[in-house]
Amino acid sequence: MKYFYFLIASIFSSVPTNAQAFVYKPVNPAFGGDTFNYQWLMSSAENQNKFKDKVSQLEQKTDLQKFKESLNSQLLSQISSLLYRQQFGTDGLSEGSYTFGSYSVDIFPTADGLSLNILDTNTGEQTQIIIPKK
């Protein structure tokens, strides 16, 4: 039996073999791959992309929807102007604490200018706006 294994081992060791080196070639042209792969990679990536462009969503609005949004914006602007004049007068912002629904606004002077602290009493979110001195 030893001779049989020795015979098989000698047969396989005497057979000439060829080998070649493994060479990695990248597919992506940004990493040295073929530039003709660029279009294929881009189309593959776009097909897998689940996010949509906000620009394309804006373009899909009809003229009626755009008109409605514009009208809403103008109305809200006029209402906020009216509320501003009623609350602060024509002289502008003055120191004090004001309440608009669920918003509490504190106005006070600081070294940087006029500071407005806005607190949403429903959620607890707070914002600070500083109007710089002239």
In a domain, 104, yes or no: yes
Lowest mean pLDDT among 17-21, 26-30, 40-44, 114-118: 17-21
In a domain, 111, yes or no: yes
> Mind giving me the DSSP string for 33-48?
--GGGHHHHHHHHHHH
Please, are residues 126 and 118 in contact by the beta-carbon 8 Å criterion? yes
Does residue 28 surpass a pLDDT of 90? no
Tell me whether residue 87 is exposed, middle or buried, using C-beta atoms within 10 angstroms of its C-beta: 0 to 12, 13 to 18, 19 or more: middle
pLDDT digits (tens, 9 = 90+) for 68-94: 999 889 988 888 887 777 766 777 777
pLDDT digits (tens, 9 = 90+) for 47-71: 898 887 766 655 678 888 888 999 8
Total of domains in the chain: 1
In a domain, 102, yes or no: yes
In a domain, 53, yes or no: no
Predicted pLDDT at 126 = 93
In a domain, 6, yes or no: no
d(CA 60, CA 53): 11
- Domain with 122 in it: 95-133
Is the alpha carbon torsion for 47, 51, 55, 57 positive or negative?
positive
Total-model pTM: 0.40
End-to-end CA separation in angstroms for the chain: 104
